[in-house]
């Protein structure tokens, strides 16, 4: 009798374990709980998921914005076999980024980002883990040590702004593509912080960096088919080939800088970001904490990928905002004029703009904020992943779901912004021309929460100083016979600006002043 009940118990236990295993398998394959309230979903088919319902648009941020009309502001779809939730509203976005920031701090692994980051050994695309937290903290403190607070940083930016203005003077009145100059400015600032070096105009290493970085921006993390169906890798793929080539070139450059730093390393003179990361690594190894160092992954690969992130983000994001600002300044000459009037009265012509002028130039500041609103650098941020089962608003979100924050929808929400498609810096000002803290809570240009942009302060400093220097000296116009810049933007890991030419005119007040002195 006892034996029989013992066997029954065992059988029960085995069945329970089997049931549990089957249940979790079914859940991880996208199985749904019967009574849960999942977000409304686009129709989906086996294997392709909802892709057939998405094909009509080429720009995902616009398509996801449009789909709200039919599915509401929180809905889901399947990218191949991946369950994706699209968030188009600021309240839900803040729940994901701030209130439940850690739950949603995961990142998806994709073929292209794995290639770029040696399987997620970086900060932007690496998933949430003790190692990720450690690296992010390190970078944060290194950035505040060399940047942000330090006067040295302002000097570096001003030096670059001066050199940029000199080049612009040399090319006055002729049609000029300003993009490489804006990029060189941003590159040299981040180069100083990462490597203590910079590039002269036309430097071959800089030219090669421009090329590989463009190749990476064109191909990485934009949910291309190979990211949705990783098995497609087995077929020849032009984009993937280009990405591999570009990553190789970038890695060789990073490796060179890293080795130079390793050779010259001196504990008593930590001068840049690589030195700071090396110091953390050596400290850990010397204190015989190599087990810890393994756990948090302070390997050469991690350091290289982290530097690659800071460098890549420092260049592409800042340069993109500057290009958008120039494009809008050309479209809206009245805005440009107001910026110049403000600079003329508050700074004048006897001295250059400095960071301490920031509070004195609210119109310029408002223009920058408006550029970041109307053309967010990363219109879909980088996808988040739910680390555990959770919820957004009243909706159930299963573990493993990818959560995409559509910043485009949030910045163009008609309930929050009047005529959201119109470019109007005044929306950030009150009736006395002073900056309003936040005209709407529906504004997150740098993201928020645990994954908020680490370079926010640095980026704001650079954008402010570069633009103040440019508009103090020059008026930007369309060259005769050219069309206005295209304001649509091309979606990618950053929202890219189409190439355009500018006529840079030296303002009357500067004509007699030699900028070289
Ligand atoms: C830009 C091209 C570089 O060669 C590599 C690189 C590194 C970090 C990325 C950046 C690229 C694009 C913008 C990203 C940044 C990390 C954070 C930033 C994605 C791909 C944004 C906007 O989130």
Please state the rounded mean pLDDT for residues 174-184.
95
Nearest CA to ligand 1 atom 22: 378
Report d(CA 514, CA 165) in Å as an integer.
11
- Comparing C-alpha atoms, which of 332, 314, 306 is closest to residue 455? 314
Ligand 1 centroid distance, CA of 312 (Å): 5
Residue 27 in this model has a pLDDT that exceeds 60: no
Ligand 1 centroid distance, CA of 123 (Å): 10
Residue 314 in this model has a pLDDT that exceeds 90: yes
Q: Name the one residue in this structure whose structure tokens are 């290639």.
A: 115
Element (H, E) at 368: helix 362-374
Residue 327 in this model has a pLDDT that exceeds 60: yes
Nearest CA to ligand 1 atom 15: 313
Q: Name the one residue in this structure whose structure tokens are 């996801």.
A: 64
- The ligand 1 atom nearest the CA atom of 316: 1
Strand order in the sheet with 474-477: 175-176, 502-506, 474-477
Phi-psi region of 263 (alpha: psi -120 to 50; beta: other; left: phi over 0): alpha
Q: Is 493 close to ligand 1, i.e. is its CB under 6 Å away?
A: yes
Please state the rounded mean pLDDT for residues 27-47.
76
Ligand 1 centroid distance, CA of 43 (Å): 32
- The ligand 1 atom nearest the CA atom of 382: 23
Higher pLDDT: 94 or 224? It is 94
Please state the rounded mean pLDDT for residues 128-144.
90
Give the pLDDT score at 25. 45
Q: In sequence order, what are the residues at sequence separation of 6 or more whose Cβ sits closer than 8 angstroms to the Cβ of residue 117?
A: 124, 125, 126, 305, 308, 309
- The ligand 1 atom nearest the CA atom of 308: 7
| % residues pLDDT > 90 (the chain) | 69
Ligand 1 centroid distance, CA of 53 (Å): 29
Q: Is 213 close to ligand 1, i.e. is its CB under 6 Å away?
A: yes
- The ligand 1 atom nearest the CA atom of 124: 16
Residue 199 in this model has a pLDDT that exceeds 90: no
- Out of 117-121, 210-214, 459-463, 497-501, least confident range: 210-214
Give the pLDDT score at 171. 95
Give the pLDDT score at 493. 93
Nearest CA to ligand 1 atom 3: 312
Please state the rounded mean pLDDT for residues 183-210.
89
Give the pLDDT score at 290. 63
Give the pLDDT score at 224. 77
Q: Is 379 close to ligand 1, i.e. is its CB under 6 Å away?
A: no
Report d(CA 468, CA 480) in Å as an integer.
25
Ligand 1 centroid distance, CA of 515 (Å): 34
Q: Name the one residue in this structure whose structure tokens are 């930590």.
A: 270
- Out of 256-265, 286-295, 485-494, least confident range: 286-295
Please state the rounded mean pLDDT for residues 105-114.
95
Residue 163 in this model has a pLDDT that exceeds 50: yes
Q: Is 122 close to ligand 1, i.e. is its CB under 6 Å away?
A: no
Residue 428 in this model has a pLDDT that exceeds 50: yes
Q: Is 320 close to ligand 1, i.e. is its CB under 6 Å away?
A: no
Give the pLDDT score at 29. 44
Choose which residue among 313, 454, 495 to substitute to test ligand 1 binding: the one with the highest number of ligand atoms within 8 A of its C-beta.
313
Ligand 1 centroid distance, CA of 106 (Å): 17
Residue 221 in this model has a pLDDT that exceeds 90: no
Q: Is 123 close to ligand 1, i.e. is its CB under 6 Å away?
A: no
- The ligand 1 atom nearest the CA atom of 212: 4
Give CA separation, 493 vs 176, 185, 213, 279, 368, in Å: 26, 21, 11, 31, 21
Give the pLDDT score at 5. 56
Give the pLDDT score at 431. 95
Give the pLDDT score at 28. 45
Ligand 1 centroid distance, CA of 495 (Å): 11
Nearest CA to ligand 1 atom 18: 313
Residue 16 in this model has a pLDDT that exceeds 70: no
Q: Is 330 close to ligand 1, i.e. is its CB under 6 Å away?
A: no
Nearest CA to ligand 1 atom 4: 213
∠61-65-71 over CA atoms, to 5°? 130
Residue 50 in this model has a pLDDT that exceeds 50: yes
The pLDDT mean for the chain works out to 89
Structure tokens at 200: 């002269």
Please state the rounded mean pLDDT for residues 488-503.
96
Q: Is 386 close to ligand 1, i.e. is its CB under 6 Å away?
A: no
| % residues pLDDT > 70 (the chain) | 89
Predicted TM-score (pTM) of this structure: 0.91
Please state the rounded mean pLDDT for residues 229-236.
82
Residue 80 in this model has a pLDDT that exceeds 50: yes
Q: Which DSSP letter does residue 490 get?
A: B
Give CA separation, 374 vs 178, 209, 251, 454, in Å: 21, 28, 34, 22
């Amino acid at each position: 009798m006892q034996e029989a009940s013992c066997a029954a118990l065992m059988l029960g236990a085995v069945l329970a374990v089997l049931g549990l295993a089957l249940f979790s398998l079914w859940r991880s394959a996208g199985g749904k709980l019967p009574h849960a309230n999942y977000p409304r979903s686009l129709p989906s088919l086996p294997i392709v998921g909802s892709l057939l319902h998405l094909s009509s648009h080429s720009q995902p941020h616009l398509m996801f914005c449009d789909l709200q009309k039919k599915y509401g502001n929180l809905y889901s779809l399947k990218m191949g076999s991946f369950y994706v939730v699209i968030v188009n509203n600021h309240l839900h976005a803040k729940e994901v980024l701030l209130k439940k920031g850690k739950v949603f701090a995961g990142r998806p692994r994709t073929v292209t980002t794995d290639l770029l980051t040696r399987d997620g050994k970086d900060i932007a695309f690496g998933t949430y883990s003790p190692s990720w937290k450690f690296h992010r903290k390190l970078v944060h403190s290194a950035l505040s040590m060399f940047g942000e607070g330090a006067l040295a940083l302002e000097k570096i930016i001003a030096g670059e702004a001066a050199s940029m203005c000199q080049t612009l003077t040399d090319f006055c009145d002729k049609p000029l593509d300003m993009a490489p100059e804006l990029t060189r400015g941003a590159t040299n600032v981040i180069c100083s912080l990462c490597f203590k070096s910079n590039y002269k105009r036309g430097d071959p290493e800089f030219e090669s960096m421009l090329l590989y970085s463009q190749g990476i921006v064109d191909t990485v993390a934009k949910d291309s088919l190979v990211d949705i169906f990783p098995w497609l890798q087995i077929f020849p793929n032009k984009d993937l080939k280009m990405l591999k080539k570009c990553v190789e070139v970038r890695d060789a450059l990073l490796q060179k800088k890293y080795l130079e730093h390793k050779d010259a390393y001196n504990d008593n003179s930590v001068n840049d970001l690589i030195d700071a990361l090396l110091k953390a690594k050596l400290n850990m190894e010397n204190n015989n904490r190599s087990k810890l160092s393994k756990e948090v992954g302070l390997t050469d690969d991690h350091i290289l990928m982290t530097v690659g992130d800071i460098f890549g983000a420092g260049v592409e994001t800042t340069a993109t905002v500057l290009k958008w600002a120039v494009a809008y300044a050309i479209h809206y000459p009245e805005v440009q004029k107001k910026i110049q009037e403000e600079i003329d009265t508050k700074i004048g012509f006897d001295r250059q703009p400095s960071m301490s002028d920031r509070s004195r130039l609210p119109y310029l500041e408002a223009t920058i904020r408006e550029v970041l609103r109307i053309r967010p650098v990363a219109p879909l941020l980088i996808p988040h992943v739910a680390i555990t089962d959770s919820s957004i608003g009243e909706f159930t979100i299963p573990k493993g779901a990818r959560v995409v924050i559509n910043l485009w929808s949030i910045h163009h929400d008609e309930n929050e912004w009047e005529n959201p498609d119109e470019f109007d810096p005044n929306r950030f000002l009150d009736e006395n021309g002073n900056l309003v803290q936040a005209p709407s809570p529906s504004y997150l240009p740098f993201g928020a929460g645990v994954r908020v942009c680490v370079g926010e302060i640095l980026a704001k400093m650079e954008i402010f100083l570069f633009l103040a220097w440019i508009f103090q000296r020059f008026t930007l116009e369309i060259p005769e016979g050219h069309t206005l810049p295209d304001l649509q933007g091309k979606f990618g890991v950053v929202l890219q600006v189409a190439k355009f030419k500018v006529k840079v005119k030296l303002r009357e007040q500067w004509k007699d002043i030699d900028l070289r002195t």
